[in-house]
Amino acid sequence: MSTPHPDTYLDAPDTGVAADCAHCDAVCCRLTVVVQPEDRIPGHLLEERDGLTVMARDEEGWCVALDGARMCCSIYEGRPEVCRRFAMDGPYCRAIRTDYTERRARGIELILH
Ligand code: SF4
Ligand code: SF4
> Considering the chain, what is the average pLDDT of its residues?
84
Between 17 and 26, name the one with better pLDDT: 26
Query: Domains of the chain: which residue ranges?
Result: 6-106
Confidence check: pLDDT of 109 > 80: no
Q: From the CA of 64, which ligand is nearest?
A: 2
- Predicted local confidence at residue 71, as pLDDT: 86
Confidence check: pLDDT of 79 > 50: yes
Specify burial of residue 97 (Cβ count, 10 A radius: 0-12, 13-18, 19+): buried
Mean pLDDT over 49-77 rounds to 94
**Mind listing the pLDDT tens digit for each residue in 29-48?**
999 999 999 999 999 999 99
- Predicted local confidence at residue 15, as pLDDT: 56
Q: For a substitution probing ligand 2, which of 1, 29, 30, 88 has the most ligand atoms within 8 Å of its CB?
A: 29
